[in-house]
Every structure is written in C-alpha cells, then in structure tokens.
Amino acid sequence: MTLSDYAIRLMQPADFVAIGEICRIVYPTETPYTPEELAEHHAVFPQGQFVAEHVPSGVPVGVHFTLRLRLIDYHIDDSWDVLTARGTFADHDPVHGKTLYGADVFVRPDHQHHGLAHALTDATRRLVIDEELWRMVGASRLPGYGSVAANVTADEYVSDVVAGRRTDPVLSAHMKDGWSVVRPIHGYLQHDPESANWAAVIQWVNPASPPPPELALR
C-alpha cells in the first residue's frame, strides 16, 4: 500500500464504530471513544475532526481530533482531561480560541508507516491557516523514557531528543514533522507507563499569524 491508497477527509457519523475499534487496538489499556463521545466532537467542531480513509475498503484507519482553545485560561501543566473537558470537547471556543489543540492522533498499526500521521497533521495545519489561528498545540508521549527514567530526568531526556542525542519513537517523529518542543510535563496522561506518565508540550506556529504577546505560550 502507498499513500495514494488513502484519503484525508472529515469525520462522519458512519465512522464512529470503526474509530472506536481503532482506539481499542491502539490504546488497549484505555477506554475507547464511544459513538456518543465522537458525536459530541462532531457536533461542537465538525471541521476539526479528520479521518484517514483506506480508499479500497472505504474504512477509516486513522484520525486526528482537534478543538479550539483560549490557552491563556489554562495552565501549561494541565492534563488531557482538563484540556478536553474530560474528552467531551465542551470547552471548544470558536470565538476566542486562537489555538488549535491537537487532542488525539492515531493510526491503526497495520496501516502505519505510510505517512498517514503526517498527512493528518498537514490537514490540521491547513485548518489553522484557513481559520486564521496562530498556532497548533499538542502533547507528545515519550514512550522511550520509561525505560531510562530511573537514571535520567525528563528534562534531560527531552533535551537529548531535541539535540539528536537520543531518539524517541513519538517525539522524534513529531520534530521531523515540524513541531517544536516547549517543555516536558508530568501527568498529561494518567496511565502511560512507557512514558513514566511524562509528555512533552509541542507546538506549531502559523507563520502568517504571529502570536499576540498576551497569548504567548510559556
């Protein structure tokens, strides 16, 4: 299979069951998204929920879920549950939310390594530009950190990855995809032993819309 076998499109209600199954496979220790939760996402911000479809089968195999936030109302250490209103996206702010928050991106394992995560991220970057937002913010898991956490601090680990002295399976891929690292945070996800419950805040700034000083991410 090649990237030409896939199409990036907006999520539709007919995708909900398949997306829940992908989530169950990718995050086996987590509760998968329910159709009701996905319907909430679709209702509050339909243009921000993207699907990678395997064209020959017509089946979704990857997703990127986003919402708009006014991040000055939050703390940089806030968890995924806080930033997504416990996964409901009820805090989506279509008026004052100048940051696109990447709540989740995942691809079925049997469809990985075809550039789908990159293609999904490109779609969200276009949304940032189209809606004249000034950045996209997310958090990167650090699945390589858990095995060295006893000897290396999270700050040291992330600095090493940024400098190219280490490779992390997720953060290194995000950096190659144009994201920059803000800093590591603890407790972003509550059940991520591979990352020792650490993550790195990452962002991509829209070059056409520089951030207003009062909204700069610190």
Domains and CATH numbers, the chain: 1-65+79-129 (3.40.630.30), 134-218 (no CATH)
What percent of the chain has pLDDT above 90? 79
The reported pLDDT for the residue numbered 191 is 79
Burial (CB count <10 Å: 0-12, 13-18, 19+), residue 88: middle
What DSSP element (H or E) covers 169?
A: none
The reported pLDDT for the residue numbered 214 is 59
The reported pLDDT for the residue numbered 142 is 97
Look up the pTM and report it: 0.89
The reported pLDDT for the residue numbered 166 is 97
The reported pLDDT for the residue numbered 84 is 95
In angstroms, rounded to a whole number, what is the distance separating the alpha carbons of residues 10 and 49? 6
What DSSP element (H or E) covers 83?
A: helix 80-83
Helix %, strand %, coil % of the chain (to 5): 35, 25, 40
Task: Dump pLDDT digits (tens) for 155-213.
Answer: 999 999 999 999 999 999 899 988 999 999 998 887 789 999 999 999 999 988 866 66
In angstroms, rounded to a whole number, what is the distance separating the alpha carbons of residues 172 and 151? 20
pLDDT, mean of residues 117-132? 95
The reported pLDDT for the residue numbered 107 is 95
Which DSSP letter does residue 166 get? Answer: S
The reported pLDDT for the residue numbered 215 is 58
Task: Dump pLDDT digits (tens) for 16-59.
Answer: 999 999 999 998 888 899 999 999 999 999 999 999 999 999 99
- Residues 6 or more apart whose Cβ sits within 8 Å of residue 59: 18, 53
3-state secondary structure of 138: strand
The reported pLDDT for the residue numbered 164 is 96
Q: Are 5 and 17 in contact (CB under 8 A)?
A: no
Identify the CA nearest to 161 among candidates 186, 131, 153, 187: 153
pLDDT value at 94 more than 60: yes
Amino acid at 174: H
